Amino acid sequence: MPPKAAKKGSAKKPNASGASAVGKNWEAGLSRAPFEEESWQACVSLVVGRSPEEEKLTQALSVAAQKPQRKLFSFLTWESTVAKIHELGNPKAKRPDEAPMFYEVTEPAKVLLDAGDEIPCDLMANILKFQLLQIKANDQQRREASRLRRRRQTLILPLSTRTKEGLKDDVEPPKYIDDEPEDGPQHYILLLGFFQPHLIRALDALGVHVANVIQLCSEHTQTSEEQQEESPFGGNEQTTSPVLDSAEVHGRAELDLFWSSLRPVLDSGPPQSKLHDVVQLSYTAPDLSSHTQNPDAELEIGNQIFEGVANLIYDCLNWRLQHQHYLDNMELFSVPTVVVMDAEPAEVVPTPLPVTHAPRRNLCERKLHQTKVNFSIIRLLCMFDTRLGQSL
């Protein structure tokens, strides 16, 4: 009996060390895993409402995302992330036969959620990268399957079979809007429901670079603010405001903290960091307050928001291309500068006084006056000589 107990104790120690080693391996592997490659680029955008009322617009956007509209777009929401954590984070639960790589990152997150604690920013960044790698793998598989299907349609089946009988074995793919630019990235990803301001910097440290931060605004909210500013009372009248519960107060505080800390976080990167390339955009959506009870109207507004946000991302990509074209064709020339050295003081040469020439008229007058004076002197001398001779 004692030897068996010793064997059990000795067996537990290697397992514990092995588990910690495995944990370190997957964490280091997730950190080093490349998200973007030369052959596969992604545009990641963070969509956040300006206020809790406008954050409801992201819910309409997520409803529209459930219906496949654009083939190259994927969504990651807070709700789907929590569901993924509960699905894969329980070590006692039965996992799928083919568990995704780095699924271990969900286990510590589930422990925190079960305890009622918030997920730290660094851990949430790892969970998002884990899901982003899944989106990348699925998109690459879809592209490979599409390539093989086109090849099989073109090479294997004869032309008569393709045109007359059709492809009975193939399932017709869904129809997409297909408005993505041809020179854009391979995939677009929208993050919804994440309000941690330092999440962008944590993702950047893991090799996931957020391209845009899009602020969702509502026409109803802007109209109300303009009416308050144009009020004859100057906005000082007492109005009855609805009582907010603790969840709404917490949500408003989260959004205020996010928008107030966003710019300092982006400016905190080193000079060559891609945090300085993050673009802040804004999109004004239609009023959703009157359509909250109508699912069809909410879906329609969600489709409008999806289209507006997508076009805004396309425009930003075009602006980036134009700016990059400007940088590639810009030529800088170095302008020489004069450097003054400390030399011996130069000899001071006195400057001659300027010679002023009198006008010609004045010179003639002076000569005439001098002649008159000389003639008067000669005349006086002659008179003196005459008087002297008479006296002798």
Does any domain span residue 147? yes
Does any domain span residue 349? no
Does any domain span residue 387? no
Alpha-carbon span 285 to 55, nearest angstrom: 11
Higher pLDDT, 112 or 228: 112
Alpha-carbon span 125 to 82, nearest angstrom: 13
Let me know if 336 is exposed, middle or buried by CB neighbors in 10 A (0-12, 13-18, 19+): exposed
Question: What are the tens digits of pLDDT across the range 34-65?
Answer: 999 999 999 999 999 999 989 989 988 998 88
Question: What are the tens digits of pLDDT across the range 71-88?
Answer: 999 999 999 999 999 999
Residues spanned by the domain of 78:
16-25+42-221+250-288+295-328
Let me know if 126 is exposed, middle or buried by CB neighbors in 10 A (0-12, 13-18, 19+): buried
Share of the chain above pLDDT 90, in %: 47
* Range ranked top by mean pLDDT from 152-156, 237-241, 289-293: 152-156
Higher pLDDT, 100 or 377: 100
Alpha-carbon span 180 to 74, nearest angstrom: 13
Q: Residue 315: what pLDDT?
A: 96
Q: Are 302 and 190 in contact (CB under 8 A)?
A: no
Does any domain span residue 56? yes
Question: Taking the alpha carbons of 37, 38, 39, 44 in that order, is the dihedral positive or negative?
Answer: positive
pLDDT band with cut points at 50, 70 and 90 for residue 202: very high
Does any domain span residue 345? no
Does any domain span residue 65? yes
* Range ranked top by mean pLDDT from 83-92, 171-180, 290-299: 83-92
Is the pLDDT at 264 greater than 70? The verdict is yes
Q: Please state, rounded to an integer, the average pLDDT across all residues of the chain.
A: 79
CATH number, domain at 142? Answer: 3.40.50
Q: Residue 76: what pLDDT?
A: 96
Question: What are the tens digits of pLDDT across the range 117-153?
Answer: 999 999 999 999 999 999 999 999 999 998 888 888 7
Q: Residue 330: what pLDDT?
A: 93
Alpha-carbon span 175 to 68, nearest angstrom: 8
What's this model's pTM, rounded to 2 decimal places? 0.73
Alpha-carbon span 108 to 90, nearest angstrom: 9
Does any domain span residue 344? no
Residue 282: CB atoms within 10 A of its CB come to 11
β-pairing verdict for 187-192 and 73-77: parallel
Q: Residue 349: what pLDDT?
A: 58
Alpha-carbon span 84 to 193, nearest angstrom: 15
Alpha-carbon span 305 to 303, nearest angstrom: 5
Alpha-carbon span 85 to 113, nearest angstrom: 9
DSSP one-letter code for 185: -
Q: What is the mean pLDDT of residues 166-173?
A: 56
Count structural domains, the chain: 1
Alpha-carbon span 214 to 134, nearest angstrom: 24
Q: Residue 382: what pLDDT?
A: 58
Does any domain span residue 364? no
Higher pLDDT, 27 or 211: 211
